[in-house]
Amino acid sequence: MAIKVIEINKSVYADSIKLADETRQRLKEQGTCLLNLMASPGAGKTTLLLKTIENLSSYCIGVMEADIEASVDAEKLQAAGVQSIQVHTGGECAMNASMTKQALDEFDTSGLDLVFLENVGNLVCPAEEDVGAHKKVALLSVPEGDDKPLKYPLMFQVVDAVVITKTDARAFFNFDDEAVCERIHQLNPSAEIFFVSAKTGEGLESWCDWVRRNLFV
C-alpha cells in the first residue's frame, strides 16, 4: 500500500489557540487521545513509537509522521503494520494547530484510541506550538547529553512527560541520570520522567503504563 503523504498548506489559521482547543475537544469526544511527541533529530522517536505500539497492542493506534521531507519513518511504521500518514511541512520547523488540523482531516481517526503526532525533529520550534494535543512528551536521547534542559528550557517546561531514550548507551556517553532529572524538575516540577531503552526494553513498561493512563478508554 502506498504511503499517504499530506503536503501541508502553510497558511496559518487566524486563531490558532481556538483551533487547537477545537481539535482537542473534537478528538476527546470521539475518544481519541492525541499525543504530541517532540525531540531532536535522531533521538529515537520512531523506534520508541514502534515498541510502544507493540506493547499497547490491545488499543487502536495511529501515527502522523511530520517531516520536512521524505517518508522514511512512515515507511518503517507501515512495514510494521501501523496505521500512519506522512505529513510534509513544506520546510516548516514544527507542526502548528492549522497543519495538525489539515493532517487530521486526511487521517481517519474515528476508530482510534490514540494518535501519536511524531513532530519534526527539533528541540526549539515544536515547543512553541499548541497543536491541539492532550498530552505533550519530549524525548531526550542519552547521546545528546544531560545538559540539554539547560539549553532548551522551553521544551522541558511545556511537556507532561520526558522520555530519556537510548539508555543502553548510558555508560558509553557518561550520562548523569540524577543531574538530568534535577534539571528537568527545576523547569517543570510535575514532569514525569521515564528512562527507556527500546533496544533492551528497559523502562518500556512504565512509559507504556503512563500512556495507557492518559487514554480516554
Nearer to its own copies, 134 or 166 (CB): 166
Contacts with its own copies, residue ranges (CB under 8 A)? 40-42, 67-70, 72-73, 91, 93, 120-125, 128, 141, 143-145, 147-148, 150-154, 166, 169, 172-173
- Is the Cβ of residue 12 or residue 217 nearer to its own copies in the bound state? 12
Complete DSSP assignment for the chain: -PPPEEE---PPPS-HHHHHHHHHHHHHHTT-EEEEEE--TTSSHHHHHHHHHHHTTTS-EEEEEEESS--HHHHHHHHTT-EEEEEE-TT-SS--HHHHHHHHHHS--TT-SEEEEE--S-SSGGGG---S-SEEEEEEEGGG-TTHHHHSHHHHHH-SEEEEE-GGGHHHHT--HHHHHHHHHHH-TT-EEEE--TTT-TTHHHHHHHHHHTS--
67 vs 113, beta carbon nearer its own copies: 67
The distance of closest approach from Cβ of residue 202 to its own copies in the complex, given in angstroms and rounded to an integer, is 16
- Cβ proximity to its own copies: between 52 and 122 the closer is 122
Smallest distance, Å, CB 146 to its own copies? 10
- Closest approach of its own copies to the CB of residue 150, in Å: 4
Shortest separation between residue 27's beta carbon and its own copies, angstroms: 27
Instruction: Choose between 69 and 205: whose C-beta lies nearer to its own copies.
Output: 69
- How far apart are CB 144 and its own copies at their closest, in Å? 3
